[in-house]
Structure 1
Amino acid sequence: MSGFKTIALRCLLALSISLAIPIARDVGAAETAAPPVAIHFTFDRPLDASMAPFFLAAKDGRFGAEHLGVTFNTAAGSPEALTRLARGDSELALVDINELIRFRDKDNAAPIKAVFVLFNRAPYAIVARRSRGIHLLPDLDGKTVGVADSDLSMRLWPALAQQNGINASRVKFHRISAAVREPILSAGQVDAVAGFSYLSAVNLRDRGVPEADLVVLRYADYGCEAYGFAVVANPAFAAAKPDAVKGFVRALIAGINATVSEPERAAEEAASRIDDGDRNLELERLRTALADNILTDEVRRNGLGGVDPARLDRSIGQIAQEFKFRKQPTAGDIFDDRFLPPVTGRLIN
């Protein structure tokens, strides 16, 4: 009789195990089928080839591999992108870090921080014509510079002028629409225009202005220490989904490395997302941004995405020469390095 009981118990045990296995498999399948983390990503301006690393990361499945569902949209400037982020309409955005610094000084501003710096050097520049007698920054004395109302470079002009011994009152600024910035310089109506080096200079060459007649006076070459475009995060999202932010950063780094390795493919992908996009024009734009703003000596030494806190503090001090802070922030108020992989995972391949 005891033998019969033993056999019966063994049968019941085998039956329970066989029933448990499908249940465990069903639970595992449910976990695997969990939807990816949705990220609405906002660019603060119209699309251009400098954003190619994001597009290649998406095309090559890098975001998907991090279990992220990323969609892109654009805003009319950094202030609008930051407002969307603060409202929670976007989880992440690409904005000018210098606008983030000013934004954080507002009443009840959300504690938004940058988590990854794409442009290690700000693209601010004055693009001038040599035929107007301009070769160096001090040559702007007595000249007329076209400036769009939304131009961010003018925010740091006072510090740049002071640092280089330029009498700012002797430089004439002519307010213009951004749409006519390059046309009025090519037509000779002004001596120079303020803008981004990888946009205005490339656009002017495309308009037929001889390259030999163009001089690009990059702020970074004259002592401006500002960083440029950076990925910023909604603080509630970053707190609730830190692994998603880390995954996004890893995917973006892969996208940058792919862009560096295959600039032609990157420019093609960017151009395909731009209305009437010109692959050759975007390739020239991309190469300019990579050389001037992304792959700097600092990045080659220290890796992508991070900041030098002392440099960021100094750049905030340069902003303070034009912008009156109620309480001047520090680098730690603006940049959060917790989402970056180790340096070995951020070096350019």
Structure 2
Amino acid sequence: MPIASPSRSSMLSRRRFGQLAMMGMAVAGFTGIHAARAQGSTAIRFALDRRFDALAAPFLAAQDKGYFGAEGLDVVIEPGNGARAMLQRLASGAQDAGFGDINALIRFRDENPNADLKAVMIVHDRPGYALIGRKSRGITTAPTSLEGRKLGTASIDASFAQWPLFKSLNKIDDSKIRIETIGLPVREPMLASGEIDALFAFGASTAVSLRARGVPADDIVLMDMAEHGLLLYGSAVIVSGKLIASKPDAVRGLVRAVMRGIRDVAVNPGAGAQFVLRRNESAQIEVERDKLAAVIERNVLTPYVRAHGLGGIDRERWAQALGQLAQASAFRDKGRAGDAFTDAYLPPASERMF
């Protein structure tokens, strides 16, 4: 279906954000950044699973506005190249915490019995797993419209990792589909030029990027896997077992600071985009702003989050999601795999409401 990014005013009108704006929306200068970081007493090396873009904005806001420093943390944020690589960095001790796909974490725990990594805060209550296609290339919102088409994916794409489950749930005959592995930088240009019919990607943000490349909005089809049977959660804040054991208060402070960052960029996606531009010279302010607004609206502030608060899980849904993952590929130890999340470091629900 055609996707339009939510306007800033519509987001504000739906939520009680007036008091949040008083927290200060001005972007801090680099002098302020270093001063805030200097206050930190606990060093945390924080790994992203992607480059600096709109999805990283809440963490960059927490860093640049001094929220980490206010919690006694000295946080260094580094870009990454996929969830698997991020998890390996945490498991090896190269990083202490990170942001990435929780289903990759579940699999990683199952495959690595000695890797004691935990998700402590769900950020994307609704996962961004999607296929993005074009009506002009024969793609509709029906999953079976993918049959007979050419799809593109990066090998590290989290959406492609859910393809076995998605095609099973939707009875897709993949013998009729050609899937081509392509690099991340060329996926969107190839779809825009018609070299592929659809691609695996993070849905809401990729739809914005395609419009920026000149693809008409009414020609873009967002096939959101969450609308076609997937019950999985998306990306989360993940920490090492060592950090949990040695600095549990630092983990709580990290979560609180990230929560503040999310509140700020939700109120003002334009300011959130500015944090991205400081670190990514190729980014465009309007594109990152619209991507951030779309992700906040579709993936972060879901109806469940508005009713129950950000960061936690619904235990029944969690159990169903584990069942779906097991359906796609059996676990070696389902109990260990399913113990990938803890809510022990979240603030009270009343402090997580939006």
TM-score per shorter chain, which class? 0.7 to 0.9
Q: CA deviation at 1:270?
A: 1.8
Aligned 8 A contact 1:185 1:192 in 2: yes
Quote the offset at 1:330 in angstroms.
6.2
Aligned partner (choices 321, 324, 328) of residue 322 of structure 1: 328
The alignment partner of 1:216 has SS state of strand
Match of 1:301 in 2: 307
Equivalent position of 1:254 in the other structure: 260
Cα separation, 2, equivalents of 1:96 and 1:287:
20
Contact persistence 2:191–2:197 (CA under 8 A) = yes
Report the counterpart of residue 188 of structure 1 in structure 2. Answer: 194
**Match of 1:87?**
92
Q: Given the alignment, which residue of 49, 54, 57 partners 1:49?
A: 54
Separation of aligned partners in 1, 2:56 and 2:131:
22
Unpaired runs of at least 5, structure 1: 1-32
Give the whole-Å Cα distance in 2 for the aligned partners of 1:103 and 1:115: 16
TM-superposed CA distance for 1:268, in Å, is 1.5
Q: Per-residue deviation at 1:179?
A: 2.3
Q: Secondary structure at the match of 2:305?
A: helix
State whether structure 2 residue 213 is matched by structure 1 residue 219: no
Match of 1:321, SS state, is helix
* Matched pairs, number: 316
Q: Report the equivalent of 2:81.
A: 76
Q: Equivalents in 2 of 1:107, 1:260: separation in Å?
A: 36
Among 27, 41, 64, the alignment partner of 1:36 is 41
Matched with 1:132 is 137
Unaligned runs of 5+ residues in structure 2 are 1-37
1:26 is matched with which residue?
A: none
Q: Is the 8 A contact 1:42 1:93 kept in 2?
A: yes
Partner Cα distance (1:117, 1:331) in 2: 16
State TM-score, norm by structure 2.
Answer: 0.85
The C-alpha deviation readout for 1:186-232, integer Å capped at 9, x for no partner, is 11122111111134322221111111111110111111111111111
Which residue matches 1:29?
Answer: none
1:313 lines up with 2:313 in the alignment: no
Q: Helix, strand or coil for the counterpart of 1:338?
A: coil
Displacement after TM superposition at 1:162 (Å): 2.3
Which sits farther off after the overlay, 91-100 or 314-323? 314-323
Cα displacement (A) at 1:332: 5.3
Query: 2:344 aligns to what SS in structure 1?
Result: helix
Q: 2:164 aligns with which of 151, 158, 164?
A: 158
- 2:285 alignment partner in structure 1: 279
Partner Cα separation in structure 2 for residue 68 and residue 178 of structure 1: 33
RMSD between superposed Cα atoms in Å: 1.8
Give deviations 1:309-342, integer Å, cap 9, x for gaps.
2212222222223333212246751101100011
3-state SS of paired residue (2:167): helix
Q: What's the offset of the Cα at 1:152?
A: 2.0
What letter corresponds to residue 210 of structure 1 in structure 2?
P
Greater shift after overlay, 101-110 or 248-257? 101-110
Match of 2:176?
170
CA contact (8 A) 2:40 2:70 kept: no
C-alpha distance in structure 2 between counterparts of 1:46 and 1:244, whole Å: 25
| Partner Cα separation in structure 2 for residue 113 and residue 216 of structure 1 | 31
Computing the radius of gyration from Cα coordinates, the structure with the larger value is: 1
Provide TM-score, normalisation by structure 1.
Answer: 0.86
Distance 2:78 2:39 in 1: 25
SS of the residue 1:291 aligns to: helix
Question: How has the CA–CA distance of structure 1 residues 329 and 121 changed in structure 2, closer, same or farther, with 3 Å as cutoff?
Answer: farther
Q: Name the aligned partner's letter for residue 318 of structure 1.
A: Q
Cα distance in 1, alignment partners of residues 275 and 217 from structure 2: 27
What one-letter code is carried by the residue in structure 2 that aligns with 1:203?
Answer: S
The amino acid that maps onto 2:95 is: S
Matched, 1:147 2:153: yes
Structure 2 residue aligned with 1:116: 121
